[in-house]
Amino acid sequence: MLTSFFSNSRPINFIIVAVYILIFYLFANLSILFTSPLWVIIQELGMLLVLVLSVFMLNFISGRNELTGRNAYKSILFAGFLCMFPAALQNNDVILANLFLLLSLRRILSLRSQRETVKKIFDATFWVGVASLFYFWSILFLFVVFFGVLVYVGHRFKNWLVPFIALLALLSIVTSASLLITDSFYTLTDWMQEGYFDFKNYQNPDLLIPAAFLFALTVWASFFYMLIIQKASANAKSSLFLILLCAGVALTVAVLAPTKNGSELMFFFAPLAIVVTNYFQNMDDKWFKEILLVTIVLLPVLLLLLF
């Protein structure tokens, strides 16, 4: 059965997830791959590699920080959520920003070791800043950085200053690059995007169906996730709650996003995959778990055939 196959973390699991993403990525970008010049095709293939790397990074973060057990649930769940929204597979800026946010999350969670804290806070903030260059509203993930500082190393005042130094360093790099390349300063208008609150696109079945499914899954799995947090050790609680905060910030980003086509949910998929994986690990009803996982894997196929 599918749940048994992904209950272990083996190279074959990762390969199958990568092939799964590849198939849907090709369908989502078919017109670009067949009608664009070679350099555009190479760029799109590069984005595919970034997506596969994102899955690997999610698996690494979860395993290294004991957010989930050693299984491939989070990988296939992330892939399933991603492939429900073809626009997410077409938006290169969102794909890149998501990878940088995962790199940031890795550094935030590693603060738990209490080693090289200044460097880790700097790196985490820097990666959030880089992500915001591709997708402005991802700057809100600075809240996650500051929460990480608060719960892990907040007792030292200098740690609270590091994020501001990291942002200044990024600003100087971006300004220098802009002057060299365009002979002009990189301004706030180049960086910032206005919020957009028109959700009429979600009335379309191709967005309404997967969004409604994810909403129901999120509410259901989050209830059990909170129970898991309550039972966890004091040290593990902070990391598990941090993932919940990531999910909340990701939803806020989606609400404020300038384009409402499903790609704005990209940052929500990784934390949701971790939350649902914990639910899977603690679920007693094997048949319901099987049906749920099969639904997540096959729903993108159904949506592709219908729309």
DSSP string, 189-246: HHH--------GGGGSHHHHHHHHHHHHHHHHHHHHHHHHHHHS-HHHHHHHHHHHHH
Confidence at residue 127, expressed as pLDDT on a 0 to 100 scale? 98
Residue found under tokens 């915001």: 132
**Cβ atoms of residues 33 and 74 within 8 Å:** no
Confidence at residue 235, expressed as pLDDT on a 0 to 100 scale? 77
The sign of the CA dihedral 288, 14, 108, 145 is negative
Band of pLDDT at residue 155, cut at 50, 70 and 90: confident
Convert the pLDDT of each residue in 239-260 to its tens digit. 999 999 999 999 999 999 999 9
Residue found under tokens 């593990």: 236
Distance CA 121, CA 127 (A): 10
Cα radius of gyration rounded to whole Å, the chain? 19
Torsion, Cα of 268, 225, 205, 29 (10° steps): 40
Determine the length of the chain. 307
Distance CA 285, CA 91 (A): 37
pLDDT, averaged across the chain? 92
Confidence at residue 51, expressed as pLDDT on a 0 to 100 scale? 97
Percent of residues, the chain, with pLDDT higher than 70: 100
Torsional class of 116: left (φ above 0), alpha (ψ -120 to 50), beta (otherwise):
left
Convert the pLDDT of each residue in 53-80 to its tens digit. 999 999 999 989 989 988 999 999 999 9
